[in-house]
Amino acid sequence: MNMSFDVGSADAKKHFWLRPEDLRTLEKHTEYFGFAQGRASWYFRESDLLAAAIAKHGKEGYEKKVASRTKREAKKRAREDHAAAAAASSSSSSSSSAMPPAAKKQKVVKDYTDINDAMLGAWNLILTKPDQVKETVGSITMSSEYDGNISVDDLHSLAYTFGNLHGLATGSSWSDRTVKFDTKWKVCGKRWSGTLSLTMEKNGTTLKGKYNSGVSKSLGGIKVIEFTGEKVVGGAMGLLMQQAQKHIDMEKKESP
- pLDDT tens per residue across span 73-103: 888 888 888 888 888 777 666 655 555 555 5
Give the tens place of pLDDT for each residue, 217-231.
Answer: 777 668 898 999 999
pLDDT of 28 strictly over 60 = yes
pLDDT of 119 strictly over 60 = yes
The CA distance from 57 to 52, in Å, is 9
pLDDT of 178 strictly over 80 = yes
Q: Based on the number of CB atoms within 10 Å of its own CB, is 238 exposed (0-12), middle (13-18) or buried (19 or more)?
A: middle
Q: What is the value of pTM for the model shown? A: 0.56
pLDDT of 243 strictly over 50 = yes
Enumerate the domain spans of the chain: 7-57, 61-108, 114-254
pLDDT of 1 strictly over 50 = no
More confident residue, 101 or 34: 101
The CA distance from 182 to 256, in Å, is 44
Confidence of residue 145 (pLDDT cuts 50, 70, 90): confident
First to last CA, the chain: 28
pLDDT of 38 strictly over 80 = no
CATH topology of domain 114-254: Porin (2.40.160)
Q: How far is residue 18 CA from its own chain's centroid? A: 20
The percent of residues in the chain predicted with pLDDT above 70, rounded, is: 78
